[in-house]
Copies of this chain bind each other. A is one copy, B any other.
Amino acid sequence: MKMTTPARGFPVSEFKNRLAKAQKMMNEAGLDALLLTTEPDVRYFTGFLTRFWESPTRPWFLIVPANSNPVAIIPSIGVELMGQTWIKDIRTWRSPSLTDDGISLLAEALHEIIGTTGQVGIPMGHETSLRMPFADFQNLTNAVAPLKFTGAANILRNLRMVKSEAEIAKIRQACTIADKAFTRVREIAKTGTPLDEIFRQFQILCLQEGADWVAYLAGGAGQSGYGDVISPATPIPLRQGDVLMLDTGLVWDGYFCDFDRNFAIGQPTNAAVTGHCQLMEAVDAALNIIKPGITAADVFHAMDKIVTGGAGGSDAGRLGHGLGMQLTEWPSLIPQDHTVLKEGMVLTLEPNVQTASGKIMVHEENIVVRANGAELLSKLAGPKLEVL
């Protein structure tokens, strides 16, 4: 177990390596460039890390040409920060502009880099979106025609799914911080504590233990389980016999952890004890089979067999997913996702089980796929439900 804090940022070689792989894929797919618009995609090739994306106002563009270095076309407010990355070609305008929010500058750059014909890939598949005004995309399409926008051949998906050791170290660090915060839940939760106060205090614990920020916290509490796992906290106080669940996606140097822990408030009900046992058994089943070459669906079935007897899942929709620069990434642990696991993929294992009518429990761990099996990034919970 590594206990030293990893370095922040990446060496330039990491970005050059990502670029080389992307360019190989672009050439195979017949793409002249990629046009990227979202926070993780832009950051993946540049290292541009800022919480400013919380503001939806301004568009940000990165062109990744098939045969040269990336070109950033970004609002002037971001030039200072982008100038600290390895990106040398940074073009800018004073955004927001109501008449031309970077579109003519972007069109000009595309023409200069690619020429007047060619194929520009934009991520348009599952789990992606185009982060720019749709009307501006229509204007851009007209401005650069006959140059064409087409799908990005899953290049971002295929690249980002497999993490480098430097990325894994950051995710592990995020997990270690969350592990420490979970160890301290007994300081903040007991019979009578309102759930919303626990949410507030748990975020404080995450920050105290070293999170840069707490991008996500969900949870629930109730007798033998909870109704769902995405609701905001209510002021309802914890009662004896409740199961408390906290699920956090905290961020360290731009990388997420995403796992939860369940706690019994006083003596747990039999349903809760059994539920937790089943969840841990499901996680064990996944841990036992994970290795390069099996599929996301295989991992799903290993867990589903235990939590539903092989019924094919539940309304949660999946039993885990990829993890990295975003709280959730490809692949999905569902029957129809036949993505083959590779070394360096980081996954969450997230089985859920019905414990009573309208009540569920969910457990989640984070792992990385290694040549010889799964390596845990979160500290595996014990088979016994922790009692507070």
Q: Could you tell me which A residues sit within 8 Å of B by CB distance?
A: 49-52, 54-58, 75-81, 84, 92, 94-99, 101, 122-135, 138, 151, 196, 199-201, 203-204, 207-208, 210-218, 227-232, 249, 313, 315-318, 321, 326-328, 332, 334, 336-337
User: How many Å lie between the Cα of A50 and that of B217 in the bound state?
Assistant: 10
User: How many Å lie between the Cα of A130 and that of B210 in the bound state?
Assistant: 35
Q: How many copies does the complex hold?
A: 2
Contact assessment for B200 and A207 in the assembled complex, using a CB-CB cutoff below 8 Å: yes
Pick the contact of A94 from B55, B199, B211, B313 — CB < 8 Å? B313
Name the B residues within 8 Å of A216 (CB-CB).
Answer: 51-52, 54-55
Most B Cβ at <10 Å: residue of A51, A125, A131: A51
Pick the contact of A57 from B132, B201, B215, B321 — CB < 8 Å? B321
Contact assessment for B321 and A99 in the assembled complex, using a CB-CB cutoff below 8 Å: no
Contact assessment for A126 and B134 in the assembled complex, using a CB-CB cutoff below 8 Å: no
A77-B230, A96-B334, A124-B138 known; 20 new pairs, CB 8 Å cut-off, are A51-B216, A51-B218, A51-B230, A52-B218, A54-B249, A56-B326, A57-B321, A77-B316, A81-B231, A92-B315, A94-B313, A97-B334, A98-B337, A128-B134, A129-B132, A130-B134, A196-B212, A200-B208, A200-B211, A207-B207
Name the B residues within 8 Å of A122 (CB-CB).
Answer: 134
Pick the contact of A77 from B58, B101, B317 — CB < 8 Å? B317
What is the CB-to-nearest-CB distance from A71 to chain B, in angstroms, rounded to a whole number?
Answer: 19
In the complex, the 6 A-B pairs of residues with the closest C-beta atoms, listed nearest first: A124-B134, A76-B315, A80-B228, A52-B230, A55-B328, A124-B135
Contact assessment for B316 and A80 in the assembled complex, using a CB-CB cutoff below 8 Å: no
- Given that A55-B327, A204-B204 are contacting pairs, would A79 and B232 also be in contact in the complex, using a CB cutoff of 8 Å? no
User: How many Å lie between the Cα of A25 and that of B75 in the bound state?
Assistant: 33
Question: Would you list 29 pairs from A and B whose C-beta atoms are within 8 A, ordered by A residue?
Answer: A49-B232, A50-B232, A51-B216, A51-B218, A52-B218, A52-B230, A55-B326, A57-B126, A57-B321, A57-B332, A58-B317, A76-B316, A77-B230, A96-B127, A96-B317, A96-B318, A101-B126, A122-B134, A124-B133, A126-B133, A127-B133, A128-B133, A129-B129, A129-B130, A130-B130, A135-B151, A203-B203, A204-B208, A214-B214
User: How many Å lie between the Cα of A227 and that of B50 in the bound state?
Assistant: 14
Contact assessment for B332 and A51 in the assembled complex, using a CB-CB cutoff below 8 Å: no
Name the B residues within 8 Å of A212 (CB-CB).
Answer: 196, 199-200, 232
Contact assessment for A57 and B127 in the assembled complex, using a CB-CB cutoff below 8 Å: yes
Name the B residues within 8 Å of A92 (CB-CB).
Answer: 315
Pick the contact of A213 from B203, B208, B326, B337 — CB < 8 Å? B203
Whose C-beta in chain B lies nearest to the C-beta of A79?
B315
User: How many Å lie between the Cα of A122 and that of B138 in the bound state?
Assistant: 13
